[in-house]
Amino acid sequence: MYTNIDNFIDYLKLQKNFSHRTVEAYQKDLFDGLDFFASLLSVPVEQMRPSDINSKLMRSYLAHLQQRKLSRATVARRLASWRSFFKFLYNNGIIFANPMVKLVNPKREKRLPKFLYESEAQRLVEAPDNSPLGCRDKALLELLYATGIRVSELVALDLPDLDLNRSYLRVLGKGSKERIVPLHNQAVAVLAHYLQNIRPGLVQGNNRAVFVNYRGGRLSDRGVRKIIDKYCTLVGLKNNISPHAIRHSFATHLLDNGADLRSVQELLGHVSLSTTQIYTHVTKQKLKKVYKLHHPRA
Go through the domains of the chain in sequence order and give each one's CATH number. 2-91 (1.10.150), 118-294 (1.10.443.10)
8 Å CB contact between 23 and 9: yes
Give the HSE-up count for residue 228: Cα atoms under 13 Å, Cβ half-sphere: 26
The dihedrals phi and psi of 169, each to the nearest 5 degrees, come to -135, 155
8 Å CB contact between 273 and 262: yes
Question: How many C-beta neighbours within 10 Å does residue 207 have?
Answer: 15
Give the pLDDT band of residue 284 (cuts 50, 70, 90). low
User: So what's the pLDDT on residue 193?
Assistant: 97
8 Å CB contact between 238 and 229: no
Q: Cα-atom radius of gyration of the chain, to the nearest Å?
A: 23
What residues act catalytically? 150, 174, 244, 247, 270, 279
Give the pLDDT band of residue 22 (cuts 50, 70, 90). confident
Give the pLDDT band of residue 183 (cuts 50, 70, 90). very high
8 Å CB contact between 25 and 73: no
8 Å CB contact between 206 and 113: no
8 Å CB contact between 181 and 145: no
8 Å CB contact between 103 and 62: yes
Q: What is the pLDDT of residues 84-130, one digit of tens each?
A: 999 999 999 999 989 988 787 766 656 666 788 889 999 999 999 99
Q: What is the pLDDT of residues 56-81, one digit of tens each?
A: 999 999 999 989 988 888 888 899 99
Nearest residue to 234 via CA among 130, 120, 107: 120
Give the pLDDT band of residue 161 (cuts 50, 70, 90). very high
Q: pTM above the 0.75 mark?
A: no
User: So what's the pLDDT on residue 239?
Assistant: 64
The dihedrals phi and psi of 234, each to the nearest 5 degrees, come to -60, -40
Q: In terms of DSSP H, where are the helices of 50-158?
A: 55-67, 72-91, 118-125, 132-147, 151-155
Number of H helices, E strands in the chain: 14, 3
How far is residue 52's CA from residue 62's CA, in Å, rounded to a whole number? 17
How far is residue 60's CA from residue 78's CA, in Å, rounded to a whole number? 13
